[in-house]
Amino acid sequence: MGKVPTALVATSGLVGGYGVARWTGKRQLGGAVLAVAGAAAAQRWRRQAGGTAAGVLTAAYVAAFAGAHPLAKKVGAWPAVFGVTGAVALASWAVADRRG
């Protein structure tokens, strides 16, 4: 997993978590995907960029998940998910991935 960019791991959690929840009708299953990918990304962020950066990126990941909900009421579910995911992926790349 060391060669997979952390931006891709975070993206997989946010988009994959929503997709799984939507297509299976099981929010808990989508939450599990979100949590597992988030934990994997956080571990990699810590290793690649340090504890402070990992904390900030993890907070951004959680904020993106939470922020997608009210944003979806304005722009639609998928556009909201893709928008917040893009922001997290860009931050992840800038802080952790571009160094490697």
Q: Give the confidence band of 87 by pLDDT, cuts at 50, 70, 90.
A: very high
The pLDDT assigned to 86 comes to 98
Rounded to 5°, the CA angle 71-6-21 comes to 45
**pTM of the predicted model over 0.85:** yes
Tokens of 86: 């893009």
Residue-wise pLDDT for 1-35, tens only, equals 558 999 999 999 999 999 999 999 999 999 999 99
Averaged pLDDT for residues 62-80: 97
Q: Is 65 in contact with 37 (CB distance < 8 Å)? A: no
